[in-house]
Amino acid sequence: SGKPASGRPLLLGITKASLSTESFISAASFQETTRVLTEASISGKIDYLRGLKENVIMGRLIPAGTGLEFYRNVELISEEPEPVLGEEVSPELELAEDMTAEAEPQQERLTT
């Protein structure tokens, strides 16, 4: 009634295997850190921190053990209040806005 499972083994070297993971944080920890993080940033990737390695890197509990299901549903409450827009602008944001303004071509104003 059903077809047996079939597949074709693919042997990758340690570098290719490490870089082909779903987690860009895990991949970046192995080799080509700048390239991996740059590509992840440009493409807007999100790392869902599902593996052991990326959770250790981020200083979080590893997804293993008898309490896994309990801790998956825990919501953390930040002690820092959320910033309100318009209140304070970070120096990084100001720099980014300045860089964007410099990169845009300036148009001359037409006066009549």
> Which pLDDT tens digit goes with each residue over 34-58?
998 999 999 999 999 888 889 999 9
Check residue 55 and report its DSSP letter.
Answer: H
Residue 45 has what pLDDT? 92
CA dist., res. 40 & res. 66, Å (int): 32
* pTM for the whole structure: 0.46
% of the chain exceeding 90 in pLDDT: 12
CA dist., res. 47 & res. 27, Å (int): 11
Check residue 67 and report its DSSP letter.
Answer: T
Burial classification of residue 29, based on how many CB atoms lie within 10 Å of its CB (0-12 exposed, 13-18 middle, 19 or more buried): middle
Average per-residue pLDDT for the chain: 77
> Which pLDDT tens digit goes with each residue over 78-87?
777 776 766 5
CA dist., res. 14 & res. 29, Å (int): 13
CA dist., res. 90 & res. 97, Å (int): 11
28 with 58: CB under 8 angstroms?
A: no
Cα 80 versus chain centre, distance: 22
- Ordered domains of the chain (ranges, CATH): 11-74 (1.10.150.390)
